[in-house]
A = this chain, B = another copy of it.
Amino acid sequence: MNVLIILAHPDRYSFNHAIAGKCKDRLTENGHSVILHDLYEEDFNPNISMIEIPRNGKIDDVVKKHCADLTGSDGIIIIHPNWWGQPPAIMKGWIDRIIRPGVAYEFLDGDNGEGVPNGLLKASVGLVFNTSNTSEEREKEIFKDPLETIWKNCIFDLCGVKQFDRRIFRIIVTSDLQQRQAWLNEVEKVIDKYFPKN
């Protein structure tokens, strides 16, 4: 399978990067093809412009490449920290610019954008790995865990990606090496579950 990994964290030594490395290695071991976009390393520009917005808007080569990688993928893996119940801005910009009409979803004829779109992505699995410094109880009770519905309902389901799994590793800031190793083992198990050995 072709698996696309999108990573957003400014520190190349972050645990997010360790997760991405583990995903890539395990997917490769299992015989899959991997494309990894490290958005910070690519200095991805998050700000969509007006000319880019319409369905047939003018898009640059960077966006074209990202869109091709997205539509060509059988599985999508998203990796980022939980910042304010949302992804970092650079990941939000990837969503704004790459999850395009005509690429990831489309409105029916006669629909000007007010209706329910059809998902276009052929990917069957969407996985999300998040790191967090908020306890599970506080995240669910106080903050209502917006990242869950954002990725599951607002994005993957809308674009036609029906299988969804999300793992949250917490509390990152006080975690030790042993804990992090256990989390990376969990990442490996998740990869094996959705992208087993060919």
Contact = CB atoms under 8 A, between A and B. Distances in A.
Given A112-B173, A143-B153, A89 B93 contact: yes
Nearest to A135: B114
Contacts of A85: 146, 149-150, 153-154
A153 B48 CA distance: 27
Interface string A85-120: 111111011011001000000000000111010000
Contact of A154 (B48, B135, B146): B146
Nearest to A96: B89
A1 interface: no
Contacts of A40: 47
How many copies are assembled?
Answer: 2
Interface string A148-169: 0110011100000000000000
A2 interface: no
A94 B169 CA distance: 25
A178 interface: no
Given A84-B96, A84-B154, A89 B10 contact: no
A171 B111 CA distance: 12
A46 B10 CA distance: 12
B113 A133 contact: yes
A62 interface: no
A109 B113 CA distance: 50
Given A138-B116, A149-B144, A150-B85, A10 B50 contact: yes
A-B pairs with lowest CB-CB distance, top 9: A89-B93, A46-B89, A146-B146, A85-B154, A89-B92, A144-B149, A92-B92, A114-B171, A113-B173
Given A46-B46, A85-B149, 10 more contacts: A10-B47, A10-B50, A83-B95, A86-B95, A88-B96, A89-B96, A112-B174, A116-B138, A143-B149, A144-B153
